[in-house]
Structure 1
Amino acid sequence: MTRRNKGDEKPRHTRVPLNKLEADPDLFQHRTVKLDNAHAEALVHVLSRGETLDPLTAWVDDRGQLIVVDGHHRLEAYRRANWTKGVPVVIHSGPEENAQFLAMSDNGKQRLQMTQEEKSNWAWRMVRDYPELTAKRIAEGPVSLRQVRNMRSTMRRLEQAGEALPDTWGMAMVMDKGNAGEWDEAQREERRVAMRAKLLEQIRAHLSLAAQRDPDMALEVVEEVMGRSRFEIAADALGYRKMTQAEIEGDDLPF
């Protein structure tokens, strides 16, 4: 997925002190949830057993600083473990846009999988922030050429309408609704995925904590927000059914 431009140095495998590594998650961490605490703790546990983590991928910026572009959870695990040995790193040089492709590499067993919404947001930011890149170049990432061309058309319409370009592809589609006519099925599904991810981002932390402390209370909150009838329809769709009074009292359990 990542090509080397003429003049770029060959990637270098080495170990560096932890304090020599920086992170810029706003630029290179394209996940909706920037830090998955459970995944970070699992990696800390791996380190505590004396096992190794996949090498981080780092890029040398114009200051000569090493910026982690892939491996943010591994970096967090090393920090939580107070790691004092050298950290295994693959170091790349070259233009920033090449580093963005490195950030989307998908070849490590300890890497969380990206959602389709996260991949779309990455492609949208590439279209927005690196206009000199061709559509074919961006489509070497995890999205189709058709989607990249659709994003470019959307960006032109928003610019012509004097709109500020948003950070996410889902929001770009919402803003473009009045300019693009009717959406096709693929665009409607993209918008639904984007809205779902945004909602998850807003409620995940609070609801997850509530579910750990008091699962029944968390479900009561969800039911109140959805309304009883919608809640029961959703539960039925997920394969759950309402217990009878006898089952609740323990006299007629289905197992």
Structure 2
Amino acid sequence: MSANKTARLTALEELKRRIEKGQPPTKQPTKLPLKKIEIIEEVFQHRAGGTLGTIDGRKHVKTLESALKHNQGNPLAPILIYWVGDAWACIDGHHRYEAYKAMAWKDNIPVKVFEGSIYDAFAKAGDANVKDKRPMSDKDKSQYAWELVNLTKENGERVYSKSQIAKMSNRSTSLVGRMIHVLATLRETYAEPPLERWTHAQRWYEQGPGNGEDVDYRAIMEGKAQRLADKLRTHFKQQLTADPVITFMALEKYSPELVGQLKTLLKEETDREAEDGDMEYGF
């Protein structure tokens, strides 16, 4: 991954090339089997942790499962889909998709086709998350705005204006303006500035890189963490999340030292998020 592109924008570029190599759809469906809908969370899911990576996300899916159980066989609202050259991809409705999957839904499910450019689809996915019944956190909204600021055409121009980004991400125009300024300054000052996360880029802008933090090493850590998460999900499925208290007790029995370290890390992350929120709103 280029140091000058976020992982999401790199994935977006790869998907754009896939679309360019593909063929137009033969028809625009209003219903599809679940297996015919592709999930591309690395592009179209803007929430931190993805669809099932947080307790709130899993609770939301459980709520939708309950709705399906008591809905007399009727499906949920249509999933918004987009043609990616060789398949239909979900751009809004990831939790509904997971609820259908958990219920082993056999019937075709209602879908609605989104028409527009890949950039418009990317933005629509973020806009849907911002306004969804389970909205993104302020931190996720700011990260989404940062990714839109980084999103450029082949000629280097931003795809969306400052006011458009502010409206799409539900962030202030002043914050988006600051992001644009920080991005331009970092690119002028450093050969490979850290642009993956807004919070990280903001610290480099304010404090410089002299904090001993290695950007490539962070990327390696993210990769290792993702692989470990995938192994846990494959082996334990939803066992770890079904009862957080039991999971916590099991971790304490496995390694009290690990639990102590996790408590410290969680406190540091909570304090950091509070500081970021203060900076964002000018407190």
Same-fold status (TM-score > 0.5): yes
> How far 1:139 sits from its partner (Å)?
1.9
1:28 aligned to 44, 57, 61, which one? 44
Q: Name the aligned partner's letter for residue 39 of structure 1.
A: H
* Structure with bigger gyration radius: 1
Q: Is 1:86 aligned to 2:135, yes or no?
A: no
Where does structure 1 differ by over 6 angstroms across 4 or more consecutive aligned residues? 107-110, 207-210, 214-223
1:16 aligned to 32, 35, 55, which one? 32
Contact 1:57 1:102 in 2 (8 A): no
Q: Quick check: 130-139 or 217-226, which moved more?
A: 217-226
Contact 2:36 2:88 in 1 (8 A): yes
Which structure 2 residues correspond to residues 214-233 of structure 1 after superposition, within 5 A? Answer: 224=260
Contact 1:166 1:172 in 2 (8 A): yes
Which structure 2 residues correspond to residues 1-255 of structure 1 after superposition, within 5 A? Answer: 14-34=30-50, 35=52, 36-49=57-70, 50-61=73-84, 63-106=85-128, 111-130=133-152, 131-141=158-168, 142-160=170-188, 161-178=190-207, 211-213=244-246, 224=260
Q: Distance in 1 between matches of 2:131 and 2:151?
A: 30
Q: Name the aligned partner's letter for residue 166 of structure 2.
A: A
Q: Which residue of 2 aligns with 1:5?
A: none
Contact 1:138 1:148 in 2 (8 A): yes
> How far 1:99 sits from its partner (Å)?
1.1
Q: Name the aligned partner's letter for residue 148 of structure 2.
A: M
> How far 1:42 sits from its partner (Å)?
2.7
Gaps of 5+ in 2: 1-27, 153-157, 209-221, 227-231, 233-239, 268-283
Cα RMSD between the aligned structures? 3.7
1:59 alignment partner, SS class: strand
> How far 1:209 sits from its partner (Å)?
7.4
Contact 2:193 2:201 in 1 (8 A): no
2:191 alignment partner, SS class: coil
Q: Name the aligned partner's letter for residue 21 of structure 1.
A: I
2:91 alignment partner, SS class: strand
Q: TM-score scaled to structure 2, two decimals?
A: 0.58
Is the alpha carbon distance of 1:221 and 1:44 closer, same or farther for their aligned partners in structure 2, counting shifts above 3 Å?
Answer: farther
Contact 1:54 1:108 in 2 (8 A): no
Gaps of 5+ in 1: 1-11, 180-197, 231-255
> How far 1:178 sits from its partner (Å)?
2.9
Q: Distance in 2 between matches of 1:57 and 1:222?
A: 42
Paired residues in the alignment total 196
Q: Distance in 2 between matches of 1:139 and 1:223?
A: 40
Deviations 1:175-234 (A, max 9, x none): 22235xxxxxxxxxxxxxxxxxx9xx99xx9x977842176788988995568xx9xxxx
Q: Distance in 2 between matches of 1:156 and 1:215?
A: 44
Contact 1:123 1:148 in 2 (8 A): yes
Q: Distance in 2 between matches of 1:41 and 1:75?
A: 12
> How far 1:30 sits from its partner (Å)?
0.9
Q: Which residue of 1 aligns with 2:12?
A: none
Contact 2:166 2:172 in 1 (8 A): yes
> How far 1:69 sits from its partner (Å)?
1.0
Q: Distance in 2 between matches of 1:68 and 1:217?
A: 36
Q: Name the aligned partner's letter for residue 58 of structure 2.
A: N
Q: Distance in 2 between matches of 1:223 and 1:24?
A: 33
